[in-house]
Structure 1
Amino acid sequence: MTTQITDLSLDLIEFILSHLPISTLIQASTVCKLWYTIVSSSSFSLNHKHKHKPWFFLHGIHNISSKNNQSFAFDPSSNSWFLLPTPQQPLHYPNNTSFIGTSSFFFITAPNFLYTPIINPLGWYSTPSLHFPRINPLLGVFKDGCSFKFIVVGGVRFIGNLVDIEDRLDVEIYDPLLGSWDLAPPLPADFRSGNSSSSLSSALFKGKFYVFGIYSCFVSSFDLKLCVWSDVRIVRPSGIVFSFMIACRERLILAGVCNSSSGSSFTLWEVDEKSMDFYEIGVMPHDLLCSLFDGDEDDKFASLKCVGLGDLIYVFNEDYHRMYPACVCEIRGGGDEKGECYWRRVPPLPSLMNKFHKVVSFCSNVSLHSILGEGQHHGLH
């Protein structure tokens, strides 16, 4: 006798659906009212998010017309790219350098501070003005109790028509419940010569906001409860050219290009957050690294970027002419176990309609509720 899926118990149907990637769940939710009710319930969304891997987002910016901007998302569970609805930049924000993406939100930081959800961006939310309006800051979103807050670190500001690169700018933290910004101490003076996101990377890890110099290898952490900076340390593996600091679940990871007598490599190190000691945990396969570039130019690694979250680290080339090739590393094992690295290529992007002058890349967890909450017309396509 053949068992129809309609004969299964509600708990068993929910169990089966919980193992599907988000992209498949969106399709499943259109099958019938029962499946939509299951998939769209808050309890299902909460249970499912713990099984889902963070997505990789790529937002392309066109300097002449924001109508040519496009947003893409890669779902590692289904190994698929999606073209997302792209928020239109307000007409009075011609300077695209203030556009940032992180942790489920897009942000515009100057002259005023605006934000909108990555999925289903229905409009921009405005906050009171920053005490120090800035472009290219580091930005993080962290939980504080049941709510979230934004932290803005560094960046540069204009005085007249000049960029002030000497001003370190106080840290500012926004509480959406109170609707106000709090000031905190600025970046340590060691970061004075380069305090924008073009020369720094950041990582939220165990209640601290880490700031790392991509080229200087300086690192300091901001305690989100005590609102103080740690002493500046140097984390510089031998032969390092440039690197990024990434929070990967229970690990603080350093990822970057390293030169040695045997040639160039892309290497991962795990960093002890207390001692700042580090040890190598993986190297990208050489053929995979070569597939990210054309030719043997001296500066071929200059367009290499790296982002990550959870157990995943994405490495990609932000050069338009290469159509943004990317690969992903999954770090398995946790706690006291030594991580094992598994690398694979990311499929090519969907056909690009527009040429971008700049790309914004980041990783973020994606909530099923955020996709289905506004209805099917605003979902992935």
Structure 2
Amino acid sequence: MSDTNPECSNLNALNTDVTESILSLLPIPSLVRFSTVSKLWRSIITSLPPSSSSPWLFLFGIHNTSSFHNQSFAFDPLSNSWLRLPFPSLPSLHLVGSDRFLFSTAPRFSFSPILKPNWRLTSPVRFARINPLLGVFPASSKLILVGGVGSIGGLVNIDDRSPVQIYDSTLDSWELCPPLPEAFRSNAHETLSSALCKSRFYVFDVSSCFISSFSLDTYTWSDVQTLRPPGLLFAFLNSCNDALVLGGMCNSDRGFSFNLWRVEEGSMEFSEIAIMPEALLFGLLVDCEDEDDGHRFRTLKCVGSGNLVYVFNEDGHKKYPACVCDIGVENGKCRWRSLPNLPSPVNNFHKLVSFCSTLSISDVFHSDEA
């Protein structure tokens, strides 16, 4: 006769199921702490299935002359807290972030998971790029490299007109495609914003408001259109919940405001979905004597993904203040809130790499533990 008590086994299984259900509701920073409670809890946590989550905001501050001053931060919207991340060793200072990865684009192209630094070189890129636009197509294991400036022997080639380059990770190979439309090329490394929506990679000029998209199905560019809501000073294009969202500064009869618009693919028709509260907007600004000077807004940047759009100030004098808008609230309403301050001390940087990405617990623990 077995010594095992069926009722006791069922109770243990029930307790494990309840524990798993509770832990699955917690933010990732809490799960990391609770994984040290016991081997059982660690096993449960590292075995949790991937779940949809609100995107985190990542900031990687790079100091050109002293790597000691480099810093990296991640904001978890569920716990409403910033985490200071160990700054990874870098193959170069030419970084781009997207979809849970950091990419070094020159002189050799390589990539690494954000939270588990492990740099992997790709086959040689045909044209090395500095400050390119980059998008990852998870469904096809491909990424697209657009714009930026050329790098030859470590030197910048400002007259470069290189084609779009697509990397296939399954084949470890690069493919050349038609370059950016001529309308974008004069400022291809300074004023371009991008958004990956479905099977199209959109490129938007922050200043001229030209927009075009590259189809991953046909490898062709769409006609160049203009996307400029009334009073727009500058804007950034994002992809949120499979829809295009434009976020930017306006100057209208109501004064300065930061607005969000939903943009229809194809027609480029737009509809306003949110306006940042004035108190939040002016809380992002560096003190300026001339209150009517629109140039003081030029250091604001907007990145978004999923249900969240983050707006922050890239000027280090105010230690990079930020706020966020939840555009996924029920009844079509949007909710703004400020983010807590970055954990001190915060250095000044020559370059700030910023992007959004969702995370799961498997991104935190090594694959042999998950």
TM-score (norm 2): 0.91
Kept in 2, the 8 Å contact 1:58–1:73? The answer is: yes
Q: Which moved more, 1:210-219 or 1:59-68?
A: 59-68
1:203-352 matches, cutoff 5 A: 203-293=195-285, 294-297=287-290, 298=293, 299-332=295-328, 339-352=332-345
The DSSP-based 3-state class of the residue aligned with 1:356 is coil
Structure 2: state its 5+ residue gaps: 1-10
Report if aligned partners of 1:210, 1:219 keep a CA contact under 8 Å in 2. Answer: yes
**8 A Cα contact 2:128 2:152, kept in partner:** no
After superposition, the Cα gap between the structure-2 partners of 1:249 and 1:267, relative to the gap in structure 1 and judged at 3 Å, is same
**Max radius of gyration: which structure?**
2
Aligned position for 1:131 = 126
Q: Which runs of 5+ in 1 are unaligned?
A: 377-381
Does residue 41 of structure 2 align to residue 45 of structure 1? no
Specify the alignment match of 2:83 in structure 1. 82
**Larger CA deviation: 215-224 vs 289-298:** 289-298
**Structure 1 residue 322: deviation in Å?**
0.4
Q: Are residues 1:201 and 2:193 paired?
A: yes
**Residue deviations 1:324-364 (CA, integer Å, cap 9, x gap):** 00000000258xx7x32100000000002533222111101
Deviation at 1:134, TM superposition (A): 1.4
Secondary structure at 2:334 match in 1: strand
Deviation at 1:116, TM superposition (A): 1.2
Contact in 2 for aligned 1:72/1:81 (Cα 8 Å): yes
Identity of aligned pairs, percent? Answer: 52
1:302 Cα deviation (Å)?
A: 1.3
1:192 positional shift = 1.6
Q: Is the 8 A contact 1:194 1:200 kept in 2?
A: yes
Q: Which amino acid aligns with 1:206?
A: K
Letter in structure 2 aligned against 1:141:
V
SS in structure 1 at match of 2:129: coil
Aligned AA (1:212): F
Task: Output the CA distance in 1 between the equivalents of 2:240 and 2:77.
Answer: 16
Q: Structure 1, residues 259-288: CA drift from partner, whole Å, max 9, x if none?
A: 012210000111001211001111000011
Answer whether contact 1:156 1:167 (CA < 8 A) is retained: yes
1:99 equivalent in alignment to 2:92? no
- The C-alpha deviation readout for 1:285-322, integer Å capped at 9, x for no partner, is 00110101122542211111110110100000011110
Letter in 2 for 1:285: P
Q: What letter matches 2:20 in structure 1?
A: E
TM superposition score normalised by structure 1 = 0.88
Q: Which residue, out of 348, 355, 358, partners 1:362?
A: 355
**In structure 2, C-alpha distance between the alignment counterparts of 1:274 and 1:296, rounded to whole Å:** 43
Q: Assess, with a 3 A threshold, how the Cα gap between structure 1 residues 373 and 163 changes in structure 2: closer, same or farther.
A: closer
Partner Cα distance (2:154, 2:113) in 1: 31
Residues 270 and 296 of structure 1: CA distance in aligned 2, closer, same or farther (over 3 Å):
farther
Counterpart selection for 1:175 from 168, 171, 176: 168
CA contact (8 A) 1:112 1:130 kept: yes
- 3-state SS of paired residue (1:300): helix
Structure 1: distance between partners of 2:346 and 2:180: 40
Range with bigger deviation, 282-291 or 222-231:
222-231
Alpha carbons 1:66, 1:88 under 8 Å: kept:
no
Q: Which digits, 9 at most, give the CA deviation of each residue in 1:26-68, with x for residues without a partner?
A: 1122212222111111xx232xx21x21100010101102232
User: Is contact 1:155–1:168 with CA below 8 Å preserved after alignment?
Assistant: no
Mapped contact 2:130–2:149 kept (Cα < 8 A)? yes
Q: Is the 8 A contact 1:220 1:232 kept in 2?
A: yes
Checking the alignment, whether the CA contact within 8 Å between 1:120 and 1:374 is kept in structure 2 is: no
- Check whether the contact 1:282–1:341 (CA below 8 A) recurs between aligned residues: yes
Aligned length in residues: 355
Give distance in 2, aligned partners of 1:152 and 1:101.
12
Cα distance in 2, alignment partners of residues 245 and 361 from structure 1: 14
Residues 92-126 of structure 1: CA deviation (Å, up to 9, x unaligned): x4xx3x222222111111111121111021x3211
Are 1:63 and 2:64 counterparts?
A: yes
RMSD of aligned Cα (Å): 2.0
The CA distance in 1 between the partners of 2:228 and 2:346, in whole Å, is 40
Q: In 2, are the aligned partners of 1:99 and 1:107 still within 8 Å (CA)?
A: yes
